[in-house]
Amino acid sequence: MPRISIKVSSFVFLAASGCLAQTQTQTEFNWTSIKPSAKLKWTKCYGEGFECARLLVPLDYASPKNSKTAAIAMTRLRSTSSSSTYRGSLLINPGGPGGSGVEYVLEAGSEIAGIVGAEYDIVGFDPRGVSFSTPSVSWFVNDAERAMWNPPNANAMYHSLNESTIALPYAYARSQVQSQLAAARDAGFLQYITTDYTAQDMLTITEAFGFEKLQYWGVSYGSVLGATFAALFPDKLERVVIDGVLPINEWYSSNISNTMLDTDKVLNAFFTSCFEAGPTICAFHNNANASSASDIAGAFQTLLSSIQQTPVPAIASLTQGNAGYGIIDYTLLKNTIFHALYAPYDLFPALAQALADLAAGNGTTLYATSGVEEFTCGGASALDRSFEAAVSIICSDMTPNVTLPDLRAVYAREEALSQFADLWANWRAACAGWKIRRPGRYTGPTGPMKTIAPMLVIGNTLDPVTPWPGANQTANILFPGSGLLTYNTLGHTSFTAPSSCINSWVYAYFKNGTLPPAGTVCQPDAGVQLFSPNGTDGLIERDLVDGVSVNGRVTKRKLPFRL
Ligand SMILES: *[C@@H]1O[C@H](CO)[C@@H](O)[C@H](O)[C@H]1NC(C)=O
Ligand SMILES: *[C@@H]1O[C@H](CO)[C@@H](O)[C@H](O)[C@H]1NC(C)=O
Ligand SMILES: *[C@@H]1O[C@H](CO)[C@@H](O)[C@H](O)[C@H]1NC(C)=O
Ligand SMILES: *[C@@H]1O[C@H](CO)[C@@H](O)[C@H](O)[C@H]1NC(C)=O
Ligand SMILES: *[C@@H]1O[C@H](CO)[C@@H](O)[C@H](O)[C@H]1NC(C)=O
Ligand SMILES: *[C@@H]1O[C@H](CO)[C@@H](O)[C@H](O)[C@H]1NC(C)=O
Ligand SMILES: *[C@@H]1O[C@H](CO)[C@@H](O)[C@H](O)[C@H]1NC(C)=O
Ligand SMILES: *[C@@H]1O[C@H](CO)[C@@H](O)[C@H](O)[C@H]1NC(C)=O
Ligand SMILES: *[C@@H]1O[C@H](CO)[C@@H](O)[C@H](O)[C@H]1NC(C)=O
């Protein structure tokens, strides 16, 4: 969802999570200078319009009186409307899991306020266990140990389970080590770092604002969080938008293979739109010397096989930092392509250029656009632990009993759906050996649910990781009565491309509770097209860290949220 800019690369399995260097200056706020409290006490932070607070919540909602506490880090972009029109907090979640809501509001708060109106405080919170919230999940004794396990400048991200014949069993073994490490070093709180308790935190936050019912907009994994809230507190819901939807029945039964339904269709759109754009706009068209989209697809597959057999060196810079050199292997290449499928309007042109250069034997461009991080130790921020938080949340929510044959079966099922199964099956691999299960945790819906107010559910017609049927199922079967808004576009979540149609429905919903009539389909704004000769200026750039200029067009280096 490139319209929302976020610094943290959230769901990156086996990801660069170690000693990252490039912390944005705006993240430099000393959270420990705020004393956590049970009432909201706001302190100016970060910049104009932002305030921060740390809210005490029970670590264990099963016995809130006796429980230890957690402190939820929150940042709000203050409402600028008068007190008579003020409508309280609108909580936002960027997905992941493990994504930082604090970062999200810093990057995207003003754009979101621009869509929903100035009557709300736009409130980003770091879910329990994540980032600036405490206690925060950390499996490693120090940053050096973390960086040894997950080197930030290695070709990490999702290790391809298809890179070699041992890749899958290797990932299985590796995850068991992680799982045991997490359990052995857990100070007794990991069992509470689950989506159901984060949903309860959202109610606690809402009440701390002096309101009874939730107002919320969650994207990607944030849809799981929003729907979990709706399932647990159906009468505490005022306005909930979920966008890029993964159905919670699939989430809690750890059966998320269906999320790969449309992934390859987005890739196919790369081939067709590249062909239609022509060689001056789509660089890979040239290289394929294409007389049809399938020529481009063929050249693409040839390139993939070639890199699978023969990795190539990439040297962007030997003098500027230590992320300037590496190896283009199958894992790095597949991750870079997969990344582009999340944000095709933004990233397809740069992907085409990178592939063209790579096919011509030059890996530099691809390496530079891959999102590889600088390797340093010592300056690491809490954000770097998002990978540990992500895996802890997923595995504690799902607690699948993963065996090697089971993992192979999941891989085979996903491979039948998508050629990105080698990346995606890491979801299942990561929970191998996970031991943390809280008795009584929410385990998913048992039938249709009725909420006191309807949710607004948004699904894109071609989303690479949260396909449209998940939104349809959520709006029509799990939560009948919800509004379903279909966005005829490709990419992940409605933030993939600007649409005043989407914005006006979201606005009307927050304003009045108005739902789009059944069957409503929005289009991107006029002029928004893949391989647009004019680029996609005007999108809310989501993953802007430091741009890399490709053919005069700035592309983004940061990996997006994985879910
Ligand atoms: C952050 O604030 C705490 C408490 O006020 C203080 O002890 C600490 O030195 C501060 N850290 C930095 C890096 O300024
Ligand atoms: C996962 O979900 C799909 C589609 O709903 C279903 O066909 C399949 O049987 C499920 N797999 C398992 C292991 O539950
Ligand atoms: C493309 O094909 C034409 C006709 O076969 C050939 O003349 C030209 O050299 C090719 N260009 C590239 C970049 O391969
Ligand atoms: C590879 O491509 C980059 C970017 O276009 C260029 O700067 C570099 O000189 C090329 N390297 C080689 C060895 O051709
Ligand atoms: C996990 O699966 C293995 C192999 O099928 C089985 O032996 C074991 O009892 C299962 N454990 C649990 C907790 O279900
Ligand atoms: C795995 O690699 C083989 C051999 O290159 C290829 O045929 C297959 O499509 C790949 N599968 C995935 C999911 O990448
Ligand atoms: C959407 O959900 C409805 C209600 O369950 C179902 O009847 C319909 O077939 C679904 N549409 C698609 C295209 O899957
Ligand atoms: C909200 O409702 C009011 C009163 O019915 C109406 O005037 C206004 O146009 C509605 N606004 C939106 C955005 O639907
Ligand atoms: C692209 O930019 C040119 C020059 O500013 C403009 O005339 C044209 O309408 C734009 N095209 C699109 C599709 O926005």
3-state secondary structure 29-79: CCHHHCCCECCCCCEECCCCCEEEEEEEEECCCCCCCCCCEEEEEEEEECC
Structure tokens that stand for 486 in this block: 């279909």
**Distance from the CA of 69 to the center of ligand 9, in angstroms?**
55
Q: Nearest ligand to the C-alpha of residue 402?
A: 5
- On the CB side of 393, CA atoms within 13 Å amount to 32
For residue 477, give the ligand 7 atom closest to its CA.
5
**To test the ligand 1 pocket, which listed residue (32, 34, 134) has its Cβ within 8 A of the most ligand atoms?**
32
For residue 286, give the ligand 3 atom closest to its CA.
13
**First-last CA distance in the chain:** 10
Pocket residues for ligand 2 (CB within 6 Å)?
A: 255, 257-258
User: What is residue 129's three-state secondary structure?
Assistant: strand
441-459 pLDDT per residue, tens: 999 999 999 999 999 999 9
Q: Omega of the bond prior to 97 within 30 degrees of 0, cis? A: yes
74 forms bridges with which residues in the sheet? Answer: 53, 125
pLDDT value of position 377:
62
**Distance from the CA of 554 to the center of ligand 4, in angstroms?**
17
Atom 9 of ligand 2 has which residue's CA nearest to it?
A: 255
Secondary structure element (H or E) that encloses residue 109, with its range: helix 101-116
Burial classification of residue 69, based on how many CB atoms lie within 10 Å of its CB (0-12 exposed, 13-18 middle, 19 or more buried): middle
Structure tokens that stand for 186 in this block: 């857990």
pLDDT value of position 12:
28
Q: Nearest ligand to the C-alpha of residue 32?
A: 1
Question: Could you count the other beta carbons within 10 Å of the beta carbon of residue 310?
Answer: 10
For residue 315, give the ligand 4 atom closest to its CA.
11
Pocket flag, ligand 8, residue 511 (CB < 6 Å): yes
| Residue 434 phi, psi (nearest 5) | -65, 130
Atom 5 of ligand 2 has which residue's CA nearest to it?
A: 258
Angle at 220 between CA 217 and CA 221, to 5 degrees: 95
Structure tokens that stand for 319 in this block: 């003098």
pLDDT value of position 368:
84
User: What is residue 518's three-state secondary structure?
Assistant: coil
pLDDT value of position 384:
64
For residue 289, give the ligand 3 atom closest to its CA.
1
108-122 pLDDT per residue, tens: 899 999 999 999 999
Burial classification of residue 184, based on how many CB atoms lie within 10 Å of its CB (0-12 exposed, 13-18 middle, 19 or more buried): exposed
Spatial separation of the C-alpha atoms in residues 211 and 86, rounded to whole Å: 12
User: What is residue 554's three-state secondary structure?
Assistant: strand
Question: Is the backbone of residue 14 left (phi > 0), alpha (psi -120 to 50) or beta?
Answer: left
Question: Is the backbone of residue 530 left (phi > 0), alpha (psi -120 to 50) or beta?
Answer: beta
pLDDT value of position 376:
65
**To test the ligand 4 pocket, which listed residue (286, 317, 320, 362) has its Cβ within 8 A of the most ligand atoms?**
362
Residues with pLDDT less than 70, the chain:
1-27, 152-156, 373, 375-384, 534-563
Spatial separation of the C-alpha atoms in residues 93 and 123, rounded to whole Å: 9
Structure tokens that stand for 417 in this block: 């759906």
Pocket flag, ligand 3, residue 289 (CB < 6 Å): yes
**Distance from the CA of 531 to the center of ligand 9, in angstroms?**
13
